[in-house]
């Protein structure tokens, strides 16, 4: 099937007086730990024609209270609490409220350099891009984390080269009028961003991958659930998508929200501590038995 062609040479300059150029949409669920870092980064952006929309899925922690602390630091910041807990629905809800020329979808655990949005804006003006994602960088300097993000950057380039481009939901920038024709499919339980990208491409909206600026990617899921386990699930999901299409059933557990990683990190810590204490007890018993023999 032939792809539709869209004239990208107009509409970039359709910003009306007083209208923000970017609408930053952040879906949240129990993100009191990470959200303040992202909001702080947004408050320090050198590009200021933006609004920030936090769409919270009825968090049990202080996510909304943390967001409200930034009302004096971010001129246009709005928070919504909704009952439906799906990331696709939250993103669509935020997009409905947005007024910007471009929508910027971010997850609560990412981080940005102060010039991130300015560089995106400059790229849009120069290249007339409608749909953008960027390379990432790790949130730590650990070799395993740096290597994982290098692999991620390589994968999105390869997928683009084989005409299977992908824009992750945690770092997607798209012209608002295009988004409203496509939207995220809310029935998907996993990989809603793969589906969104595929439908955008079929509509003739080409994806541009920028190597700079780079978004800081959180690897907390790898740390809380294990690198091998996390990679395995992504591989299974990709194979399923290639063979059968969008994932509308629960192939495996894939919980969302900051509380998930906090709890699993705590469980992992307790497990390691328990193993450590047992090893100490064994060593103590071994030494004690030897001392008794010498007596």
**Tens digit of each residue's pLDDT (9 = 90 or more) over 83-100:** 988 999 999 999 999 999
102-106 and 131-138: which strand pairing?
unpaired
- DSSP-derived 3-state class of residue 175: strand
pLDDT per residue over 107-152, tens digit each?
999 999 999 999 999 999 999 999 999 999 999 999 999 999 999 9
186 within 8 A of 88, measured Cβ to Cβ: yes
Determine the pLDDT at residue 5: 47
Q: How far apart are CA 231 and CA 218, in angstroms?
A: 15
Residue 5: which residues within 8 A CB-CB, separation 6 or more?
204
Q: Helices 227-244 and 192-202 meet at what angle, rounded to 10?
A: 40
Of 150-159, 192-201, 225-234, the least confident:
225-234
178 within 8 A of 205, measured Cβ to Cβ: yes
Longest dimension (CA), the chain: 91
For the chain, the distance separating the N- and C-terminal CA atoms, rounded to the nearest angstrom, is 86
pLDDT per residue over 160-189, tens digit each?
999 889 999 999 999 999 999 999 999 886
CB-count exposure of residue 48 (10 Å: 0-12, 13-18, 19+): middle
User: Which parts of the chain are beta strand (E)?
Assistant: 22-28, 50-56, 77-81, 102-106, 131-138, 171-175, 207-217
Dihedral (CA of 226, 229, 231, 234) sign: negative
CATH code, residues 22-219 = 3.90.550.10
pLDDT for 277 beyond 80: no
Range 193-208 average pLDDT: 95
Q: How far apart are CA 97 and CA 171, in angstroms?
A: 19
pTM: 0.79
Q: How far apart are CA 242 and CA 62, in angstroms?
A: 39
The phi-psi region of residue 252 (left if phi > 0; otherwise alpha if psi is between -120 and 50; otherwise beta) is beta
Q: Where are the domains of the chain?
A: 22-219
Residues paired with residue 133 on neighbouring β-strands, in sequence order: 209
Determine the pLDDT at residue 264: 54
pLDDT for 260 beyond 80: no
pLDDT for 245 beyond 90: no
For 200-209, b where at least 16 C-beta lie within 10 A, e where not — what string?
bbebebbbbb
């Amino acid at each position: 099937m032939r792809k539709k062609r869209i004239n990208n040479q107009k509409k970039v300059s359709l910003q009306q007086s007083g209208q923000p150029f970017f609408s930053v949409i952040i879906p949240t669920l129990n993100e009191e730990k990470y959200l303040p870092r992202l909001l702080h980064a947004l408050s320090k952006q050198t590009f200021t024609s933006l609004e920030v929309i936090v769409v919270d899925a009825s968090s049990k922690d202080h996510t909304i209270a943390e967001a409200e602390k930034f009302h004096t630091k971010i001129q246009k910041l709005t928070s919504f609490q909704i009952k439906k807990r799906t990331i696709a629905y939250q993103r669509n809800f935020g997009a409905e409220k947005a007024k910007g020329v471009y929508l910027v979808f971010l997850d609560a655990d990412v981080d940005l350099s102060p010039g991130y949005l300015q560089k995106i804006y400059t790229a849009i003006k120069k290249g007339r891009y409608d749909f953008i994602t960027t390379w990432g960088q790790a949130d730590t300097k650990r070799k395993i984390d740096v290597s994982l993000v290098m692999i991620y950057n390589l994968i999105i380039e390869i997928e683009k080269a084989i005409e299977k481009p992908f824009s992750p939901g945690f770092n997607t920038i798209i012209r608002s009028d295009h988004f409203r024709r496509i939207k995220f499919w809310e029935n998907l339980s996993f990989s809603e961003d793969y589906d969104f990208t595929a439908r955008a491409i079929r509509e003739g909206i080409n994806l541009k991958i920028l190597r700079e600026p780079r978004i800081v990617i959180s690897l907390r899921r790898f740390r809380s659930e294990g690198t091998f386990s996390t990679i395995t699930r992504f591989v299974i999901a990709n194979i399923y998508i290639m063979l059968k299409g969008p994932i509308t059933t629960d192939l495996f557990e894939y919980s969302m929200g900051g509380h998930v990683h906090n709890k699993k990190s705590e469980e992992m810590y307790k497990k390691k501590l328990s193993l450590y204490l047992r090893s100490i007890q064994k060593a103590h018993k071994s030494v004690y038995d030897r001392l008794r023999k010498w007596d």
